[in-house]
Amino acid sequence: MFKPVSPKLNVTLMEEGVLRYWKSHDIFHKSMEMRKGGPEYVFYEGPPTANGKPGVHHVLARAFKDIFPRYKTMRGYHVSRRGGWDTHGLPVEIEVEKKLGFTNKSQIEEYGIDRFNELCRESAFTYIQEWERLTDRIAFWVDLDTAYITYKNEYIETVWWILKNFWEKGLLYQGFKVVPYCPRCGTPLSDHEVAQGYRDAEDPSVFVRMPLVDEPGTSLLVWTTTPWTLPANVAVAAGADVDYVKVEHELPEGGSEHLILAENLLEKVFGEHHPRVVERMKGKQLKGKRYQPLFTFLPLEKPAHYVVLGDFVTTEDGSGLVHIAPAFGADDMNVAIEFDLPILMTVAPDGSFLSEVRPWAGKFVKQADPLIIRDLEDRGLLLRAGTYTHTYPFCWRCSTPLLYYARPTWYIRTSQFRDRLVELNNKINWYPGHIKTGRFGNWLSNNIDWALGRERYWGTPLPVWECESCRSQDCIGSVEELSARAGRDLSDLDLHRPHVDKVRLRCKECGGVMKRVPELIDVWFDSGSMPVAQWHYPFENLDQFKQQFPADYICEAVDQTRGWFYTLHAISTLLFDDISFKNVICLGLILDGQGQKMSKTKKNIVDPWEVINRNGADAMRWYLYTASPPGQERRFSSDLVEEVVRNFTLTLWNTYSFFVTYANLDGWKPVSNEVPAYNSLDLWLRSSLHALVRDVSAALENYDVLGATRPIETFVDQLSNWYLRRSRRRFWKSGSDADKQAAYATLYEALVTLSKLLAPTMPFIAEELYQNLVRSHDPAAPLSVHLCDWPAADQAAINDSLNREMSLVMRLASLGHAARNKANRKVRQPLAEAAFALGSAEEAAILAAYADLLEDELNVKHIRPLSGAGEAAAYSLNPLPKQLGQKYGSRFPAVRKAILEFPADVAARELLDGKPISVEVDGGVLEILPEEVEVRVQAREGFAVASDGPYLAALVTTLTPELVEEGLARELVRRIQDLRKTAGLEIADRIKVTVKATPGLQKACRSFRDYIMAETLALELTFGEPQNEAAAASDTFDGEEVTIGLIKA
RNA sequence: GGGCCUUUAGCUCAGUUGGUUAGAGCGCGCCUCUGAUAAGGGCGAGGUCUCAGGUUCGAGCCCUGAAAGGCCCA
């Protein structure tokens, strides 16, 4: 016996039961142990931060992460999937700051970094239980017991080891990074803070002459809205492919000068009557031209004041020549690094000019703007000054205009590896493919050095110590090294601030005291180090690391292209000259039902628990897999998930429930030692099933999630709504013949195979089916579907022509139904004949082979082809453009015309017979093949017809008294069955029926007495007034009246 | 401003190397089937395939440009 299955499914109850089963049998760990010794499949978990609640987007990522480890396990791979937690960084600090009511960094220092970091350590796991609960509930199998944690000393030590490696290769250096900075608050602002403070602002707009050194009388015309940055100018940037012109500009005081600017901006700068163009050139021709500096307040340590090229140069505004002050612009700084330009720092951290900038020393830079403009004017360097309105960021706290301001920081010289990063990226398999050369590839080929330093508290400290006296620096790569240098055992030292800051080393150069530099490192370096640091490599676990590097598969959302995807790739490239992941699925964002991004402020966040509690984790997962290609953003609402349950889960469930119900009634058991007597429907289903196994397997091998899921939906639909619908009678009939055995065997095979195909994607329902269908009869079978081997496609069962035949039969059935509808003949009324017109002789044979099936489906007594001679009233020809167009190209219109002018009935006869016709085109004769023309037919009067392309269904709708009687009998059966249901009888209960009917119906009832009794499982059928104790009902139909009573026999 | 993605029915999405009549599901209306079904079937309403050019015998698909939306970066 199978466990009885109700057609009603309580999804959450079922899933929770499965969860308990997995837990009590420790299935997850068994799935890993079982495959020990098998080939390794490596999955890396991109560590989430547990200081916020998990949301739908986390379910998305976790759902996609889960598929392949499960699939590969079933394929025999050993997949240890270690979890991980990202614990450092600003988000954690901000939460703690909020809790403490802090608004700036000095409060943290007053409070004590020690205590502050302890709170951060706790806060990092505020929602750990939420995460564990959700991870568990959605059946993301990841090993959280052994999860790596980025704040552990061992983890940090490996990160130090990596940094030391970079240090020794000369890749770690100190430079400047331009950040949005509030001069009043004295602090840089994060992107998030900057975004809050954009406003329209009016700034100066000045055009300045920069006279060329080697071409007297010629100046570059340069535009800026921040005159205060001009004293820090070191270069002018031009666009390589921008068209520039040299113009002859008349001076008001007489004479003329030459100015260089972008051609596109001539009119914007000078108006319609712009000066005469005397020369044209591309930006790259300007490269290297030297000009006289506007100011010389600061000494230059490197060559400066020449034209460089920058891809950020546009011709929207200004002159197309961009003034470069590396200290005050991010683009400017990148150019400075690229061209090795000096960086002139003219401004103090409070926003005032340094004393070296003599005329304006101590003045706030924005207030100095007018003075600088006047100075330039006095020296004849100003062409024009005006104002310019644009959006500009202000401090959200104090409304001071922000300055872009260079702060000293540490960099990793990743740009040195730019080409290698790109090369290695070519070895990575990206989904969707465009990320590889698009968003990620572009990012790599424009790689700039990684700004590593952070002036914060909770994170991995930069292990660089600097000598107080000689400024020499050392990088420390392990605790052991630190102990040795410090001259004491530091193995118990917490490597976080402030403890590590207290460690002083002796300078190797001068014997002075070395202190650690104040910076932490970018938290992204932590997670990017994860392939190495999770194992505390190379201090231990050398084998594990080797075995688990690189990853076969990682999966995160698209926002990680410049996050984790990049840091993983950059670190492994610099460290090992190798990739760290082979296949990656890059997910799109989740939007709400209206296509808006989910955000706390919009209050449109969908709580995953709401969805899970209502429709279950399987349905949620399935929706995420099937809704759209993985890389695409997807709308999400719980209504859409509910649709999955209704259309897919319940269809599958009810097929399963049907099977179990009848298998139990018949005492059917799975047997494997004999080949069932399959009928054509069985063969078709098995052909589809094994094609499905083949296709789903191939899709999973290719990381094609859509291809691994949508075909299953189609199959389940056909299984339920065609195979089962057409096979029901085979299960109903009493006894146990070979045909019935074949039906059971086929349906059973389909359901068991489906449970395995669904195991990676819908792990719960897969398990539920498997337990009842397999485990209940085979105690020796694996404990769980997730411990099973992946099914193999039986190539011999796959028969493509069978699939084509059946889809023709379905199409004809559909046409038959349409014809019935048009004739207003309901299906319950049997009809004498249905005739079909077909496209070829071959198709006529298919019709004959499936005549029984169609007769049953359409409730007609006889199925046959439409006779060409007497019944087809008219033919028309449809020249098929695909075939003919490809064959004849531009001659197609003429060929088509010739075919349409050919006598249609003559052509039809030949073509339907499989013979070609000859038509004359442009004086030549062409042979047109049957497969190149579709023959359409119209039936003569007297049929109810429906057609579709070459196919036509024609019904004979005239009714004989016998047909009418049979129709009535079926009506009666229908009503008795309804009554059985409402009376609450079991499917197999036998009944006694009493019928009181008007004469016509009573006569029909007598004629079809056996049929009625067989259909309704009636042991007795009597005529007369129903007894009092019986369930009874009265009804009127087709002009007849009836009262039915029934009682359980 | 740059890069990438998206735009097909009221909604969610398919749409093969370009083929003339652009599909499915949900929702809506009418009809129908049913002792597995929360379902199924048929018919209908609902489309300027975002727009404009171009290539082609033929464009939802290819090319160019534009618009709108999204993400990332400035």
Through-space separation of residue A761 CA and nucleotide B12 C1' in angstroms: 20
A601 touches strand B (CB under 7 A): no
Through-space separation of residue A314 CA and nucleotide B67 C1' in angstroms: 22
A57 touches strand B (CB under 7 A): no
A23 touches strand B (CB under 7 A): no
A81 touches strand B (CB under 7 A): no
Nearest residue to A994 (alpha-carbon basis) of A1034, A1037, A1039: A1034
Within 10 Å of residue A3's Cβ, how many Cβ atoms?
12
Catalytic residues of A: 47, 86, 524, 560, 564, 597, 600
For the segment 602-631 of chain A, residues whose CB is within 7 A of strand B = 627-629, 631
Alpha helices (H) in A702-776, listed in sequence order: 705-718, 725-732, 738-757, 763-770
pLDDT at res. A598: 65
Dist. CA A342–CA A305, nearest whole Å: 10
pLDDT at res. A770: 96
Instruction: Name the maximum alpha-carbon separation found in chain A.
Output: 125
pLDDT at res. A950: 81
For the segment 415-454 of chain A, residues whose CB is within 7 A of strand B = 434-435, 438-439, 442
A1007 touches strand B (CB under 7 A): no
Through-space separation of residue A229 CA and nucleotide B3 C1' in angstroms: 29
- Look up tokens 């400017």; give the residue: A332
Task: Let me know how long chain A is.
Answer: 1049
Q: CA separation (Å) from A536 to A87, A532, A568? A: 17, 7, 16
Through-space separation of residue A906 CA and nucleotide B21 C1' in angstroms: 25
pLDDT at res. A208: 92
Nucleotide minimizing C1' to CA distance for residue A635: B12
User: What ipTM goes with this model?
Assistant: 0.92
A1043: which 2 tokens?
Answer: 């009262």
**Residue A229 carries which side chain, given as an amino acid letter?**
T
Through-space separation of residue A628 CA and nucleotide B7 C1' in angstroms: 15
Q: pTM of the prediction?
A: 0.86
* pLDDT < 50: residue spans in chain A: none
Through-space separation of residue A435 CA and nucleotide B59 C1' in angstroms: 28
SS3 sequence, A301-332? CCCCCEEEECCCCCCCCCCCEEEECHHHCHHH
Through-space separation of residue A333 CA and nucleotide B41 C1' in angstroms: 69
For the segment 827-866 of chain A, residues whose CB is within 7 A of strand B = 827-829
A730 touches strand B (CB under 7 A): no
A391 touches strand B (CB under 7 A): no
A878 touches strand B (CB under 7 A): yes
Through-space separation of residue A714 CA and nucleotide B52 C1' in angstroms: 39
Q: CA separation (Å) from A205 to A139, A214, A226, A325, A696? A: 60, 28, 8, 16, 62
Positions on chain B within 7 A of a protein C-beta:
1-6, 11-14, 17, 19-21, 25-26, 31-43, 56-58, 69-74
pLDDT at res. A916: 85
Tens digit of each residue's pLDDT (9 = 90 or more) over A934-955: 888 877 777 888 888 788 888 8
A634 touches strand B (CB under 7 A): yes
pLDDT at res. A604: 63
Phi, psi (rounded to 5 degrees) for A664: -70, -40
For the segment 89-128 of chain A, residues whose CB is within 7 A of strand B = none
pLDDT at res. A1029: 63
Nucleotide minimizing C1' to CA distance for residue A6: B36
